[in-house]
Structure 1
Amino acid sequence: MEDSPLHEALSALQAGHFTEAERRARDVITQRDAMVPEAVHILASIALLRGQSATAVALLGRLMQQPQAPCSDALNGRIHQTLGRALLAENQPEAARAACSIAVLLCPEEAASQAGLGEAYLALGNAGKAVRSLKRAVRLAPQQGALWGLLAQAQQKRGALGEALRSWERLLELAPKDRAAWANYGGALFTSGQWDKANFALKEALDQGCYTAETLNNMGLVQSALGYMDKACDYFQKAQHQLPSDAAIMMNWNAALYDKGDRAAACALLDHFEKEYGTLPAKAQFNRAALFLEKGQWREGWQAFEKRRDFLPLQLTRPLPHCPLWEGEAGEEPIALYAEQGLGDAVQFLRFLPDVIKRRPVRLQFPQPLMDLVEQCFALPQERLLSSEGLVIAQQSLLSVPYALGMKNPPSSSPYLSTGSEEEACVVGLCWAGNASYRFNRRRSIPVALLEPLRHVKGVRFLSLQQNGDVPEWMERVPLSSLTELAETIGRCSLVVSVDTLVAHLAGAQGRPLWLLNRYGGDWRWKRPHDWYENVRIFQADKAAPPYEAWPSVIERLVVALKKRFPDSERI
């Protein structure tokens, strides 16, 4: 750009002197009585920087509609790049993609052009193409931190969480004081299950003043995962104060209050939100199911439990397309019954299978481990239990059977599974951890090191009922390669000690004596006086705290109870 007035306008723009740059660019257009491309691009860039994206689009649109002397590929590329960004700001992602594609064709070595195209693809929901464009951008300008942030966002949307974390880390190397980057990095760490690192990153964001509702909400989720329920509630409350109508934050706060054991406050929060905003989201109505069911309000509870259908994927809650839901009517035409969510939930609700078979022949659509368990451990009339293949007139989830049958009374606590295993004296099965993929597994699980006092209970054989992970040398490890094998091993135990997971439900379903090591707050399934299983004793954590604070006192009480349960063992 050799023209002195244009050079001065561009220099003013680069220095951030927008008013001066605008005046000089307008002077050039006035003096030449023409839409000078360089000058118009300066005006459009200033408009975009001021947040006036519609003005930028209008200026560049007029420029492209008028005949003019040809300009260089570099300038033409920058014009299309600016137009693309302005269109993106105007929520026109497809038009933005087209403009940025031209910019890339004209200036393939321009990082900003590649980045603009990546942003357009990101807005269109094409994370794969966004990642490819943004990777080109960071190769061309590896020191531009903002490009690493865009790449990280695209990688997260693509599901490449590990790559996204590395991109956030690269951004933070370049800009260690970028509070938004720390906040986004913390959110990604939380999603990946790295709670301690997420806690550190989000604390950095907050320390640097990033008190957005999203950051506070993410910090609340991290504190929940770590077991600091009081802190979690405090962060959710602060986030809700910023965005009072945000249902997602409200539901996180509601869940934290519930897990903290403050049922009254959890219920009051839902009531307040419904009063203020007229309705509750389906997920919040589903949260009410736990409050109803633990009180024995069965009709209201099962009705609220159905609200999960409004937010869970259709393939989970209604896997057979165009097939109606069974509503409990009797008949001889078969229905499909499927399992959803975890195996523990399925085992708990298997008690209702005989009620279904009394009304309809059934084709079970269960995962194979659960099918094997039903076939080997459940006494059912075979003429009513059909092969999984074949026509059906309706479908239903195992978890929806109480609702479909209109159940108003508490379920029977009688055993309903039998493995035929012979009980062995003084054999105690131990399960101390649930599925690690569960977001809040840390709260319900017990670090294996805390079980050390149990080894001093003499004369008791401890069997590990953990299917994965390390087992202390003082416990017996037995083959647990299948769900049925796990159930058979549980059947051998004279006592099962377990946290709230599949093992507890398998023990209860067989009527084995179960000592539940229950996290503070606990789940509605274990609330008294409505027992789902007979012969259950609950050892409740004393406080909503991280594992090494919450569980030691529980283990102490457990040791005392075991010595009383097996008094003869002390003399062996």
Structure 2
Amino acid sequence: MRLLADGDREGATSLLRAALAEAPDDPDSLHGMACVARASGRADLAIGLAGRAIAILPAAHFHITLGCALHEQGHLEPARAALHVATLREPRDPRAHAALAAVLGEIGRWAEAEESLRAALALRPADTALLLDWGRAAILAGGADVAPRLAAGRFVVEDAGRLHELAGLLSERGRHGQAEMLYRRVRDLCPEQGAAWANHGAVLFALNRHEEALAALEQADRLAPDVAETLNNLGLVLMALGHLARAGEALARARRAAPDDVRIAINEATILGDLGEDGAAERLLRGVLADPVAAGGVEGARAGFNLGTLLLARGDLAEGWRAFEARTHLLPETRWPDILPWDGSALPRGRLLLHAEQGIGDAIQFLRYLPLCLRRVGVVLVLPPSLHRLARTMPDPEGLIASRCTLLLPGVPVPDDVVARCGLLSLPFLLEVAEVPPFVPYLLPCGFERTGSRVGLCWAGNPAFRFDRRRSIAPAMLAPLGAVAGLSFVSLQHGAVAEDRPFAMEAAAMGAWLETAQVIAGLDLVITVDTAIAHLAGAMGRPVWLLNRFGGDWRWSAAFDRVAPPRWGNGTSRWYPSLEQFRQSVPEAPDEAWREPVLALRGALERWRDRDL
């Protein structure tokens, strides 16, 4: 057996044959020949030899050999049974538990495989191969907190490949925080490999840890220049951080490195659009859509959606709304698979299920199309519960909402008479509305008594949004507003950042969106970044000043400015006539890009305070 372990099968065979010649039924010799047969690729012979040995002496390690040979021959259930017997006969043998785990994993019984490998590790805790096997089984079994135990292992460079594989499994399951721990170990094991830094940077980006991601990806680019995937991720991180010009350079390099990669082409088109190079962006997107292979897949849907936002930002609503429908292929609605999409026509019978799609701001903006929709069909309206009471404040001069619209309460099944479904954002396309509808306040239009000096402030959006750093403002940058004397400020900030105020101000009690609307109704002015607060105040017809990023969302583009010039800022909005914008004028990093708009807003705030004097 020592000869066999050293790779000398011929020497081992010679000795075993001599032993069997003297004692044909010696179980150890029969088992030894079974091991030689397995080593020679003859698992079929090994099964017979191990079976003969077990018939004479049912030793645990004989069952291990039999189970492994059966596994190699594809006889999974007999292999599992044999290895289970081995663990019962000798529970202190880690080989039996490990071999049983391999069979259980192939059967798909990952929880049991993880349990067997845990038993093996308890007997041999320093075995990194067992630890890696356990990690794979634990991930596939859905176990929590797998990465900390793996990250604590004493791995060497040769283990980096398997660690990378496990990190990929975690990423595929959306467990980016745990994947990051393993990618970091791979990076530490292979500090001179650009790919290790690139993978770590990519998962850091997925976690919105942008500065760390930038450092990792820049190091990856230094170690392995001109790798398309690294440059693509580097461009996206720079875009998220607001370094638009540098993002454009990185994505241009990425496309030169991989000119046929449509993902990179679409990403470059996005940054070109943000930089104001609409023509170049449109050519790239239409090029993707002209490729029949690319156009029919997910990337084609991305290109169509991005083209839609580009056209909408230009004010081309007819083609823009049509292209904007590509979003339904990117985020397909799965809640009601048996209800067919609506084509916009009048329904001969039944009602339409009209549902919110994305954020609260989108729902508020597109509720303005509800009366137009009700002229054509009856509606069952599905909104986030936090919007229900607010939606009931919509004015109803024609009685359409009261007579033709039902708000679906949480937990209530869809009525049987619903025959079609539609997202709120599809209404302009399906109703063929190619102009911004005339505006009248359509949410909580009755205001409270105002004093002339109460100003609401919202400085941050949802930090989970990948590009939130570009639209939100660090509270310290808004501190100069607090120095404007004679004003009373009220925080309209939701979420965890609400406690980090730029200066002393009243903290309004805000629960559902109706409570927020009631607070806004008692204010004289709302100042906000691009969040749902801007849409809510605008839909109420309340004065609102929007701090808007360079290359911002399509709905705030100059194509939608009113004919009349702004009174206070440098932009307006036909979506909400009471809204004025303070747009960034340079594509710089946020700390620099916000400086000018905030300074202009402070000056405007002083003039607004003195407007009646």
Scaled by the length of structure 2, what TM-score is found? 0.74
Contact 2:478 2:502 (C-alpha < 8 Å) held by counterparts: no
Give the equivalent residue in structure 2 for 1:402.
428
How far the C-alpha of 1:252 sits from its partner, in A, is 1.9
**Which residue among 87, 91, 106 is the counterpart of 1:97?**
106
Contact 2:214 2:237 (C-alpha < 8 Å) held by counterparts: yes
**Which residue among 369, 375, 385 is the counterpart of 2:405?**
385
Give the equivalent residue in structure 1 for 2:444.
418
How far the C-alpha of 1:347 sits from its partner, in A, is 0.4
Give 1:354-365 correspondences, 5 Å limit.
354-365=371-382
What SS does the corresponding residue of 1:176 show, helix, strand or coil?
Answer: coil
Contact 1:457 1:563 (C-alpha < 8 Å) held by counterparts: yes
Q: Does 1:550 align with 2:565?
A: no
How far the C-alpha of 1:433 sits from its partner, in A, is 1.1
Amino acid paired to 1:411: P
**Which residue among 218, 222, 229 is the counterpart of 1:207?**
222
How far the C-alpha of 1:149 sits from its partner, in A, is 2.7
**Which residue among 192, 195, 199 is the counterpart of 2:210?**
195
Give 1:508-527 correspondences, 5 Å limit.
508-527=538-557
Contact 2:151 2:181 (C-alpha < 8 Å) held by counterparts: no
Amino acid paired to 2:360: L
Deviation per CA, 1:86-133: give whole Å up to 9, x if none: xxxxxxx999936999999899567547756876x79xxx73369999
CA gap of 1:180–1:513, structure 2 versus 1, over 3 A, is same
For 1:514 and 1:136, the matched residues in 2 are separated by 52
For 2:113 and 2:209, the matched residues in 1 are separated by 40
CA gap of 1:386–1:138, structure 2 versus 1, over 3 A, is closer
CA gap of 1:199–1:295, structure 2 versus 1, over 3 A, is closer
**Which residue among 415, 422, 446 is the counterpart of 2:473?**
446
Give 1:364-513 correspondences, 5 Å limit.
364-379=381-396, 381=399, 382-386=402-406, 388=408, 390-391=415-416, 392-422=418-448, 423-468=450-495, 469=498, 470-513=500-543
How far the C-alpha of 1:178 sits from its partner, in A, is 4.1
How far the C-alpha of 1:495 sits from its partner, in A, is 2.0
Amino acid paired to 2:430: A
Contact 2:150 2:182 (C-alpha < 8 Å) held by counterparts: no
**Which residue among 270, 282, 290 is the counterpart of 1:267?**
282
What SS does the corresponding residue of 1:337 show, helix, strand or coil?
Answer: strand
CA gap of 1:40–1:534, structure 2 versus 1, over 3 A, is farther
What SS does the corresponding residue of 1:493 show, helix, strand or coil?
Answer: coil
Amino acid paired to 1:302: W
For 1:135 and 1:427, the matched residues in 2 are separated by 50
Give the equivalent residue in structure 2 for 1:64.
43
Structure of greater Rg: 2
CA gap of 1:555–1:356, structure 2 versus 1, over 3 A, is same
Contact 2:226 2:257 (C-alpha < 8 Å) held by counterparts: no
Give the equivalent residue in structure 1 for 2:178.
163
For 1:466 and 1:131, the matched residues in 2 are separated by 34
- Structure 1: stretches of 5+ with no match in the other structure: 11-23, 43-58, 85-92
- Structure 2: stretches of 5+ with no match in the other structure: 17-32, 54-60, 75-101, 561-573
**Which residue among 580, 586, 591 is the counterpart of 1:537?**
580
For 1:554 and 1:155, the matched residues in 2 are separated by 42
Q: Does 1:351 align with 2:368?
A: yes
CA gap of 1:78–1:434, structure 2 versus 1, over 3 A, is same
What SS does the corresponding residue of 1:202 show, helix, strand or coil?
Answer: helix
How far the C-alpha of 1:213 sits from its partner, in A, is 2.2
Scaled by the length of structure 1, what TM-score is found? 0.79
Give the equivalent residue in structure 1 for 2:253.
238
For 2:146 and 2:492, the matched residues in 1 are separated by 49
Contact 2:148 2:181 (C-alpha < 8 Å) held by counterparts: no
CA gap of 1:214–1:95, structure 2 versus 1, over 3 A, is farther
CA RMSD of aligned residues (A): 4.0
For 2:406 and 2:293, the matched residues in 1 are separated by 46
How far the C-alpha of 1:340 sits from its partner, in A, is 0.9
What SS does the corresponding residue of 1:363 show, helix, strand or coil?
Answer: strand
Contact 1:97 1:117 (C-alpha < 8 Å) held by counterparts: no
CA gap of 1:127–1:205, structure 2 versus 1, over 3 A, is farther
**How many residues in Structure 1 have an aligned counterpart in Structure 2?**
520
Give 1:5-404 correspondences, 5 Å limit.
7=6, 60=41, 63-65=42-44, 97=106, 112=129, 115=132, 127-128=140-141, 142-143=155-156, 144-209=159-224, 211-275=226-290, 279-280=294-295, 281-315=300-334, 319-330=335-346, 333-379=350-396, 381=399, 382-386=402-406, 388=408, 390-391=415-416, 392-404=418-430
Contact 1:299 1:406 (C-alpha < 8 Å) held by counterparts: yes
For 2:519 and 2:146, the matched residues in 1 are separated by 54
